[in-house]
C-alpha cells in the first residue's frame, strides 16, 4: 500500500483484527491509519466468516452484533456489506438479519461451485423468508483468488449472467483461499489493463463504490426467493459430530445463562450481570462457527482447539448459571448440609411446561417427578404426582414390547424397530404396513472430491440396513412416570450402537437416547422413519423460522437436494396429520417420498484421519400429531427436547410459582432475554414469528418495566420506536417470520 496508493484491500473478520490488535499493536496502528485513508477496508460486519447454515438464529445475530460493534469501536464505522465468499450455502433468514444489522448488500461466490445446476445470476436481489431483500453480487470470474490475468478478466465479462441489466462487476484478486494477498506483479498487470483495446476497462475500487454503481443500475435486476442452497459439500451437515454437538449445547448454555442472569438482576439489586464473561464465551462460540470449523472440514489440530473451547464454555457457563440461580432463588435454596425436602425447577423457555424430570433423592438415588413450570420462571415440586394415565410397558409373547402413555401407543420388535406408532385419540397409525421405523442404515461414503466436505448422491445406492443384533430389546423401566427399553446392535465391521427408547407420561413424542462406539472408515450412518403420510413437501426448521423443500426429485434442482440441513426438527404433514422428527444435536436430514431420515455419523479420512472415531451420544425423537405442525406444537416440543428443565434442591416446603415473561400467542417465540449492550439498566428481548402468519401478540412480564422501545439487532432504538405499556403488557405486531427486538428499561 505504501508503494501503491491506489491499492484497496478488503478484510472481513473482526476476530482477525482483534488478534492483530492483541499481539501486534505496532502493525495494528498502521492498519488503523490505512483504514482511515480508505485503503484497508473492513467488510463483512461479522465476528468471523461463519457457516451460513448451521449456527442458530441468535448465533447469527451475535456474529453481526460482535462484529459491527468491534468495527464501530475500532474504526468509527460499521460495515455496509456482508462479505462471505466461501461458505457452504446461505440460510433464507440471512437477508432479514443483514437488514437488522445495518447491511443491505451481500457478496459471495460459492454458488458457482454448484455440482448440478448453474446458478442463473451474478447480480440480483435476494429475498428472505420474511420478504426482506438485499442486493447480492457474485463476482462473475467465479473465484475469490484470481491473479489479475487477461483470461480471468475476459471470463469475468463474458461469464456475467446479468450483462445488460448491469454493466459493472467485481474482480477479487490475490493469493490465498479467500485471503486475497495481492502481489506487485498482479497490480502492474492491472494497471496495464486499465485502458487497453480489446480488454474490459479495469479500475481499482472499493466494495462501496461497486455496490453504489450496482444500486444505480439495479432497476432491471431479477429476484431470487428463499435459500441459496449449495449443491456440493452436503457432508458438512454431519462431519465431526462432536463439534456439531458442542455448538448446539453451547448455544443452549449461553441462552440459559443470559435468561437466568437477567432475571437475577431484576430480582436482586446486588447481583451483577456477567457481561464481560458472556462476551468472552460468545466470542469463543462464534469463532468455532467459522466456515471450516463448525462444518467439520478442518484439520485435527483445529478440532482439538474447538472441543477445548466448548469445554471452556460449558465449564464457565455452568458456574455462571449456578451463580444466577443462587441469586434468583436465594430464599428458596437449601444450605448444602440439610437433607433434600423438595426440588425447585426452573424453565428458561417462554411457555408453560409439564414434564417428567429426574431429581436427586435423599439417599443419592434419582427419583422421577412430574412437574408443571410456568414460562421463563420456576415452581416447586413437592409430593410425587402420579398422572391420570401412567406409562404402561408390556412384553408380548413374540418378544416385542408395547408402550403407551395416554397420548401415543408404540410397538417395538426385538431389534428396536418401531412397527407401530399410533395417536391414541384418533387411532391414526404412523408406520406403514410392513415397514420398520427407527431403522438404521449404513451407506458407503466415498466422495468424488473432498472427503470431509462432500457426500454424493450415489451413496444412496449402497444402502445396507443394520441387522446384526447384539442384545435384544429388554424392559429397563416398567412404567409409571417413565417407561424405557434397551437394545444393542453391531454397526458395520466393528462399531456398536446401544439405544434406550423412552416414553414419558403426558409426552407427545418417543425419545431415542443413543450411544455409538464408532470405528468405521468411509461409512455414513442414518436412521430412517417411513411414515404413513403423503405430501410433496417436507418442512425443516431454519434460523428463526422454517422452510419447505420437495420430497420428490422431479427436476435437477429438486434432486440436487438429496441431503439437506435442518435445525431442531423436520416434519412431513398432510392435511390433518403429520409426523415430526426432533433432535438435540444433528443437522443433516432428508425427506424423500414418505421416508424421513436423520444423518447421524460419517467417517471421512481427510483432512482429519481421526474424524468422528470414538464415542457419541445423542437423542432424537419422533412425534406423530393431529393437524398441522404449528397447531400440534412441534416447534415448542423441539425446543423442550433441546432445553431441559433445571432441577435444584430447595429448602422451603412451599413457594408460589413465578413467571418472568410470557407471550399470548403460540406463533411467537421469545428467543432471547439479555442485558442491553450499552445500558445496564435495560433488557433486550428478541421474539420471532414461527408459524408463518400475521399475528398480534401480547408480551407480559413481571419485571418492573418503565419504558419499552423497538430496536434493531444492533440494539439501536428505532425512530418512533416507543411502545405503549398497557395493562395486558406490550402489544406487538408480526408478519410471517418477522424477528423483533425490544429494549425494556427497568425501574430500579
Which pLDDT does position 37 carry in this prediction? Answer: 96
Q: How many CB atoms lie within 10 A of CB 215?
A: 14
Q: Which position has the grid cell 423441539?
A: 638
Buried b (16+ CB within 10 A) or exposed e, 475-500: eebebbbbbbbbbbbebbeebbbbbb
Q: By C-alpha distance, which of 567, 563, 566, 577 is closest to 535?
A: 577
Contact 75, 98 (CB under 8 A): no
Which pLDDT does position 404 carry in this prediction? Answer: 98
What SS3 class is residue 167? Answer: coil
CATH assignment, 9-232: 3.20.110.10
Task: pLDDT band for 316, please (50, 70, 90 cuts).
Answer: very high
Q: What are the tens digits of pLDDT across the range 76-115?
A: 999 999 999 999 999 999 999 999 999 999 999 999 999 9
What's the CATH class of domain 391-642?
A: mainly beta
Which pLDDT does position 537 carry in this prediction? Answer: 98
The answer to whether residue 336 scores a pLDDT higher than 60 is no
235-328 against 660-748: fold identical: no
Contact 511, 621 (CB under 8 A): yes
The answer to whether residue 338 scores a pLDDT higher than 70 is no
Q: Which residues contact 659 (CB under 8 A, 6 or more apart)?
A: 374, 375, 376, 377, 702
Contact 432, 423 (CB under 8 A): no
Q: What are the tens digits of pLDDT across the range 260-270?
A: 999 999 988 89
Q: How many CB atoms lie within 10 A of CB 519?
A: 16
Percent of the chain with pLDDT over 70: 98
Q: What does the alpha-carbon distance between residue 516 and residue 519 come to, in Å, rounded to a whole number?
A: 9
DSSP code of 285? Answer: H
Dihedrals phi, psi of 358, to nearest 5 degrees:
-105, 140
What is the pLDDT averaged over residues 176-192?
A: 88
Dihedrals phi, psi of 199, to nearest 5 degrees:
-115, 155
Q: What does the alpha-carbon distance between residue 685 and residue 392 come to, in Å, rounded to a whole number?
A: 42
Domain limits, the chain: 9-232, 235-328, 345-385+645-650, 391-642, 660-748
Q: Which position has the grid cell 407480559?
A: 700
Lowest mean pLDDT among 25-29, 65-69, 337-341: 337-341
Cell numbers at 85, concatenated: 465468499
Contact 477, 484 (CB under 8 A): yes
The answer to whether residue 7 scores a pLDDT higher than 80 is yes
Active site residue 86: yes
Architecture of domain 660-748: Sandwich (2.60)
Which pLDDT does position 363 carry in this prediction? Answer: 74
Q: What are the tens digits of pLDDT across the range 299-314?
A: 999 999 999 999 999 9
Q: What are the tens digits of pLDDT across the range 145-177?
A: 899 999 999 999 999 999 999 999 999 999 987
Lowest mean pLDDT among 388-392, 640-644, 712-716: 388-392
What is the pLDDT averaged over residues 55-63?
A: 98
The answer to whether residue 339 scores a pLDDT higher than 60 is no
Rg over CA atoms, the chain: 27
Which pLDDT does position 128 carry in this prediction? Answer: 98
Q: What are the tens digits of pLDDT across the range 603-624?
A: 999 999 999 999 999 999 999 9
- Number of residues in the chain: 748
Q: How many CB atoms lie within 10 A of CB 99?
A: 18
What is the pLDDT averaged over residues 526-541?
A: 98
Q: Which position has the grid cell 454397526?
A: 491
**Catalytic residue (choose from 51, 86, 398, 451):** 86
Which pLDDT does position 337 carry in this prediction? Answer: 46
Q: What are the tens digits of pLDDT across the range 455-468?
A: 999 999 999 999 99
Beta strand extents in 595-703 (DSSP E only): 595-602, 614-626, 646-650, 658-659, 661-663, 668-675, 682-689, 695-701
Tell me the pTM. 0.98
Percent of the chain with pLDDT over 90: 92
Dihedral class, residue 461 (left if φ above 0, else alpha if ψ from -120 to 50, else beta): alpha
The answer to whether residue 340 scores a pLDDT higher than 70 is no
Burial of 155 (0-12, 13-18, 19+ CB in 10 A): middle
Which pLDDT does position 359 carry in this prediction? Answer: 85
- Give the CATH superfamily of 235-328: Glycoside hydrolase family 38, central domain (1.20.1270.50)
β-pair type (668-675, 682-689) = antiparallel
What are the beta bridge partners of residue 513? 500, 619
What is the pLDDT averaged over residues 317-342?
A: 81
Angle at alpha carbon of residue 568, lines to 565 and 572, rounded to 5°: 75
Q: What does the alpha-carbon distance between residue 358 and residue 482 come to, in Å, rounded to a whole number?
A: 10
Amino acid at each position: 500500500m505504501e508503494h501503491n496508493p491506489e491499492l484497496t484491500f478488503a478484510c472481513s473478520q473482526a476476530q482477525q483484527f482483534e488478534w492483530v490488535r492483541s499481539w501486534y499493536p505496532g502493525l495494528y496502528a498502521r492498519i488503523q491509519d490505512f483504514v482511515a485513508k480508505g485503503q484497508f477496508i473492513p467488510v463483512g460486519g461479522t465476528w468471523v466468516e461463519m457457516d451460513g447454515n448451521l449456527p442458530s438464529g441468535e448465533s447469527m445475530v451475535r456474529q453481526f452484533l460482535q462484529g459491527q460493534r468491534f468495527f464501530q469501536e475500532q474504526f468509527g464505522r460499521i460495515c455496509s456489506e456482508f462479505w462471505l465468499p466461501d461458505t457452504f450455502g446461505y440460510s433464507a433468514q440471512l437477508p432479514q438479519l443483514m437488514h437488522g444489522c445495518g447491511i443491505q448488500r451481500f457478496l459471495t461466490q460459492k454458488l458457482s461451485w454448484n455440482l448440478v445446476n448453474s446458478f442463473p445470476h451474478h447480480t440480483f436481489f435476494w429475498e428472505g423468508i420474511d420478504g426482506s431483500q438485499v442486493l447480492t453480487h457474485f463476482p462473475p470470474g467465479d473465484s475469490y483468488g484470481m491473479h489479475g490475468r487477461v483470461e480471468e478478466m475476459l471470463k469475468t465479462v463474458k461469464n456475467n449472467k446479468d450483462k445488460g441489466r448491469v454493466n459493472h462487476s467485481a474482480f477479487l484478486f490475490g493469493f490465498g483461499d479467500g485471503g486475497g494477498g495481492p502481489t506487485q506483479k498482479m497490480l502492474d498487470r492491472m494497471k496495464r489493463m486499465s485502458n487497453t483495446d480489446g480488454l474490459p476497462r479495469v479500475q481499482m475500487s472499493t466494495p462501496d463504490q461497486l455496490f453504489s454503481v450496482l444500486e444505480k443500475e439495479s432497476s432491471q435486476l431479477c429476484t431470487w426467493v428463499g435459500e441459496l442452497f449449495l449443491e456440493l459439500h452436503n457432508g458438512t451437515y454431519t462431519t465431526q459430530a462432536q463439534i456439531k454437538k458442542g455448538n448446539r449445547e453451547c448455544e443452549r448454555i449461553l441462552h440459559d445463562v443470559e435468561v437466568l442472569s437477567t432475571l437475577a438482576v431484576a430480582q436482586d439489586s446486588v447481583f451483577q450481570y456477567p457481561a464481560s464473561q458472556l462476551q468472552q464465551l460468545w466470542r469463543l462460540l462464534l469463532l468455532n462457527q467459522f466456515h471450516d470449523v463448525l462444518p467439520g472440514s478442518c484439520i485435527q489440530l483445529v478440532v482439538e482447539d474447538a472441543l477445548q473451547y466448548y469445554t471452556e464454555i460449558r465449564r464457565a457457563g455452568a458456574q455462571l448459571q449456578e451463580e444466577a440461580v443462587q441469586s434468583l432463588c436465594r430464599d428458596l435454596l437449601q444450605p448444602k448440609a440439610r437433607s433434600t425436602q423438595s426440588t425447585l425447577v426452573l424453565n428458561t423457555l417462554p411457555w408453560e411446561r409439564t414434564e417428567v424430570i429426574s431429581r436427586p433423592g435423599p439417599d443419592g438415588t434419582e427419583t422421577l417427578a412430574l412437574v408443571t413450570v410456568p414460562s421463563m420462571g420456576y415452581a416447586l415440586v413437592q409430593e410425587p404426582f402420579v398422572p391420570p394415565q401412567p406409562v404402561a410397558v408390556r412384553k408380548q409373547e413374540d418378544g416385542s414390547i408395547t408402550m403407551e402413555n395416554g397420548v401415543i401407543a408404540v410397538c417395538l420388535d426385538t431389534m428396536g424397530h418401531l412397527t407401530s406408532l399410533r395417536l391414541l385419540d384418533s387411532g391414526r397409525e404412523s408406520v406403514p404396513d410392513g415397514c420398520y421405523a427407527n431403522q438404521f442404515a449404513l451407506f458407503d461414503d466415498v466422495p468424488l472430491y473432498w472427503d470431509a466436505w462432500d457426500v454424493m448422491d450415489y451413496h444412496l445406492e449402497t444402502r445396507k440396513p443394520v441387522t446384526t443384533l447384539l442384545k435384544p430389546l429388554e424392559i429397563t423401566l416398567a412404567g409409571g412416570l417413565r417407561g424405557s427399553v434397551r437394545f444393542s446392535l453391531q454397526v458395520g465391521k466393528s462399531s456398536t450402537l446401544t439405544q434406550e427408547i423412552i416414553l414419558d407420561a403426558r409426552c407427545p413424542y418417543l425419545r431415542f437416547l443413543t450411544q455409538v462406539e464408532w470405528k468405521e472408515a468411509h461409512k455414513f450412518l442414518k436412521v430412517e422413519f417411513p411414515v404413513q403420510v403423503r405430501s410433496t413437501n417436507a418442512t425443516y426448521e431454519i434460523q428463526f423460522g422454517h422452510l419447505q423443500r420437495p420430497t420428490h426429485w422431479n427436476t435437477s434442482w429438486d434432486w440436487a437436494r438429496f441431503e439437506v440441513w435442518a435445525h431442531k426438527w423436520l416434519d412431513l404433514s398432510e392435511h390433518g396429520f403429520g409426523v415430526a422428527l426432533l433432535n438435540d444435536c444433528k443437522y443433516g436430514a432428508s425427506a424423500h417420498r414418505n421416508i424421513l431420515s436423520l444423518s447421524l455419523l460419517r467417517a471421512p479420512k481427510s483432512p482429519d484421519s481421526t474424524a468422528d472415531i470414538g464415542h457419541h451420544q445423542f437423542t432424537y425423537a419422533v412425534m406423530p400429531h393431529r393437524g398441522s405442525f404449528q397447531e400440534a406444537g412441534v416447534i415448542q416440543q423441539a425446543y423442550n427436547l433441546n432445553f431441559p428443565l433445571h432441577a435444584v434442591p430447595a429448602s422451603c416446603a412451599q413457594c408460589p410459582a413465578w413467571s418472568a415473561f410470557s407471550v399470548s400467542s403460540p406463533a411467537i417465540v421469545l428467543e432471547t432475554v439479555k442485558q442491553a449492550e450499552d445500558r445496564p439498566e435495560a433488557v433486550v428481548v428478541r421474539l420471532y414469528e414461527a408459524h408463518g402468519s400475521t399475528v398480534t401478540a401480547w408480551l407480559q412480564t413481571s419485571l418492573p418495566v418503565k419504558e419499552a422501545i423497538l430496536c434493531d439487532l444492533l440494539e439501536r432504538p428505532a425512530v418512533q420506536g416507543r411502545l405503549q405499556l398497557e395493562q395486558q403488557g406490550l402489544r406487538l405486531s408480526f408478519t410471517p417470520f418477522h424477528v423483533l427486538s425490544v429494549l425494556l428499561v427497568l425501574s430500579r
